[in-house]
Structure 1
Amino acid sequence: MRALHKLSAVKARTAPPGKYSDGGGLWLHKRSDGGAQWVLRVTVHGNRREMGLGRAKLDDSRSSDGLTLKEAREAADKWRSVARSDKDPIKERERERREAARERHTLNVVADEAFEARKAELKGDGKAGRWFTPLELHVLPRLGKTPIEDIDQNDIKLTLAPIWHEKADTARKAMNRLGIVMRHAAAMGLDVDLQATEKAKALLGKSRHVAKNVPALPWQEVPNFYKSLSEATLTQLALKLLILTGLRSMPIRHARLDQIDGEVWTVPAEYMKGLKGKAQDFRVPLSKEALAVMEQARPFARDGWLFPNVRKGVLSDATMSRYMERLEMDARPHGFRSSFRTWCAEATDVPREVAEAALAHATGSAVERAYRRTDFLEQRRALMERWADHVTGGSGKVVRMVG
């Protein structure tokens, strides 16, 4: 055995630039710029390998950066032992680093990173939690501590099987989010199976859950319900505006005074389900009745919101639904969109494109939509006036001519 420990701490610190052997293949390389590093030379399978052990710490500073002479000798002992077992210490170190990284990159960690990366695409930076909640409730409790590189289709199957048929929509969202997290991991350079979620779907089979449409009030009964909204409360006024405009509850609840210009209400794309992430906002032609409802709600406005909550923010998402529940109705607020669309089909001769545009639905192929540069605002204005006339007890045949 070659002599070991030939260097002293003093010599290592005071020696001029050059290369100094400590024995056993351990060398100290001192550079002219004042820096220094430890290098270990070993022979594996007849080939000499030179392995950097790290920066040399030769002073008495408390910095944790670098290896002292004692620490360098300990590291050299470890890697010489690896070389004696006919393993390449450089490759073995890389393997250990990958293993350590694998242990650090659990599903919990990568899911958080993926969520952070997508926040800019989500409403309110995802603070409401709807994007992350399916993962948080149904995936992370079981798989969160598992290295993401170890997750396969069987793990995903066992995790989502309990809700696959009973809570089909939630399971679908959880699977979708998990697929996004797996793709994020691949972008990080991790060795994940990008087909794991698709394979898991194959193992789980087709969901037995039968989707149910939101209960809707028949269009013939809408006038009686509208007439019953006789109190000028925020909830009833919000329901009236929802019925009159055919919008979902989100744009109604987030209506702002500065969005209204004359007889047109411009709803920001972020509040429209089909327009999120797109540049265009959605113009809503307001009937005389809708304008009257907004005028009734104006005294309640706070911080610019037309339908503020009692404490802060805007009217709760469930407020209108609970109102209809207390009336022991099967129908729900979202169902009035169906009431309106069925009325269009059965009681009017309005073109399909106009009726769908009123609901902010896309029609036709992508090419057709690219060449169609209209949102049918004037046609929708006449249509919504007819709908308002029907809702308030009229015939629904009145058409307001626009000059």
Structure 2
Amino acid sequence: MRALNRLSAIAVKKLAPGKYADGGGLWLLRRDDGGGQWFLRYTIHGRRREMGLGSIMEVSLKEARDGADKWRAVARAGKDPIKVRDKEKREAARNLHLLVDIAKDAFESRKAELKGDGKAGRWFTPLELHVLPKLGKVPVGEIDQRDIRDTLAPIWHSKADTARKAMNRLSICLKHAAALGLEVDLQATDKARALLGKQRHKAENIPAMPWSHLPAFYATLKDDNITHLALRLLILTGVRSAPIRHIHEDQIEGDVWTIPAEAMKGRRDATTEFRVPLSAEALAVIEKAQEFQRDGYLFANPKKGVISDMAMSQHMKRAGLEYRPHGFRSSLRDWLAEATDARHEVAETILGHTIGSSVERAYRRTDFLDQRRDLLERWASHVTSHVGKNYRARVRL
């Protein structure tokens, strides 16, 4: 029996799930899902270790054998292949000296902790639009406060929030570079802020339609198209636009919509799902939206993905309104305060806000679902008071 090269390229593609030895410590793990992983078993300093060599989708049998040969030689020299490879990665990382490379590397390392891998929140956008065009090709160690000041000065007051985000992202990039072992000025962003001065721009609240005007507006959303349906559901639930746009039929059970934790912006308890009670009107809207669903997404874009973030805003602009979709959350909150006796914690929970300290939340075992259901049913009655009974029948999925 051969000690090495026991497998063949054809056999690798046809093997059933399990572990298979190619010889010399090289193994193939085939998974139930059809994928597979190469790994090398070796013993160093009396300790048995396993080193991943890549998936069979990316690494061929020949490449796996070449890699095994390389790392077996390292082990014979008395060095731990895993530690040697990690050192090589660190040394390669130190060569990522341009800001554009550092920024991309910093973004990649943070994707897992960002909502939607950082795409929904556009983490990289402020850097991409306002920093990298001027400083991207500059070695990160050479960037100082004057460079940052000159880069962000054009938007420091006119686009204050964007400039603030760009400055914060740049600070993260400098810290990332320092963690890679590069010499950078970690105080460069603070010094740049001092040079730029206090921002004059005042944050403006998103225009919100008075809750008394909502029935008349809701009555105009009479077309059963995606934009009208999405706006209706946004108004009826008080949920932010992103979860609305990404609502999936698997998230709905009976008259409860469960939004995944990672989709809930602004919640400190980011591991907790959020349940939204659905009024009869909301369920009827969802039933209509199912006619447009694709891959389970109710508000699918006709071309690709889901309805865009701008679709609902553009509809309101075309209607000549100063209000924006996000403002309907304020409309609902004002209605709760002025037209109901809803307790503060119940009203805030309807909007998905985190209430109280971590200790208070630990002892609170309710999300006020039944109370919220009653209030949202009353809210639906208010906003549909000019509509008639077109969508009043309770429908369960």
What TM-score, normalized to structure 1? 0.70
Which of 169, 177, 185 matches 1:177? 169
Give the structure, 1 or 2, with the largest relative contact order (CA under 8 Å, sep 6 or more): 2
Mapping 1:193-342, distance limit 5 Å: 193-275=185-267, 278-342=270-334
Q: CA deviation at 1:301?
A: 1.3
SS at match of 1:339: helix
Q: CA deviation at 1:365?
A: 2.5
Q: CA deviation at 1:153?
A: 1.9
Q: CA deviation at 1:217?
A: 0.7
Matched with 2:376 is 384
CA distance in 1, matches of 2:352, 2:121: 25
CA pair 107-129 structure 1, distance change in 2 beyond 3 A: farther
CA pair 276-125 structure 1, distance change in 2 beyond 3 A: farther
Judge which range, 128-137 or 165-174, deviates more: 128-137
Matched with 1:373 is 365
Matched with 2:55 is none
Q: CA deviation at 1:244?
A: 0.2
Q: CA deviation at 1:145?
A: 2.0
CA pair 198-369 structure 1, distance change in 2 beyond 3 A: farther
CA pair 276-351 structure 1, distance change in 2 beyond 3 A: closer
Q: CA deviation at 1:150?
A: 2.1
Question: Is the CA contact 2:98–2:136 (under 8 Å) kept in the aligned structure 1?
Answer: yes
SS at match of 1:222: helix
Judge which range, 144-153 or 172-181, deviates more: 144-153
Unpaired runs of at least 5, structure 2: 1-91, 387-397
Mapping 1:57-206, distance limit 5 Å: 105-127=97-119, 130-206=122-198
Report the residue type matching 1:218 in the other structure.
P
CA pair 251-129 structure 1, distance change in 2 beyond 3 A: closer
Question: Is the CA contact 2:267–2:353 (under 8 Å) kept in the aligned structure 1?
Answer: no
CA pair 141-129 structure 1, distance change in 2 beyond 3 A: farther
Q: Which runs of 4+ in 1 moved over 6 A?
A: 100-103
What CA RMSD, in Å, does the superposition of the two structures yield over aligned residues? 2.0
Q: CA deviation at 1:290?
A: 0.7
CA distance in 2, matches of 1:256, 1:172: 34
Aligned length: 295
Report the residue type matching 2:214 in the other structure.
V
The one-character-per-residue Cα deviations of 1:168-196 (angstroms, maximum 9, x if unpaired) are: 11101101110111111111122222222
Report the residue type matching 1:189 in the other structure.
G
CA distance in 2, matches of 1:307, 1:127: 19
SS at match of 2:266: helix
CA distance in 2, matches of 1:128, 1:228: 30
CA distance in 2, matches of 1:340, 1:233: 24
SS at match of 2:275: strand
Report the residue type matching 1:242 in the other structure.
L
The one-character-per-residue Cα deviations of 1:129-186 (angstroms, maximum 9, x if unpaired) are: 8211211121112222222122222221121111000111110110111011111111
CA distance in 2, matches of 1:371, 1:336: 31
Unpaired runs of at least 5, structure 1: 1-99, 395-403
CA distance in 2, matches of 1:287, 1:324: 24
Question: Is the CA contact 2:94–2:180 (under 8 Å) kept in the aligned structure 1?
Answer: no
SS at match of 1:273: coil
The percentage of aligned residue pairs carrying the same residue is: 66
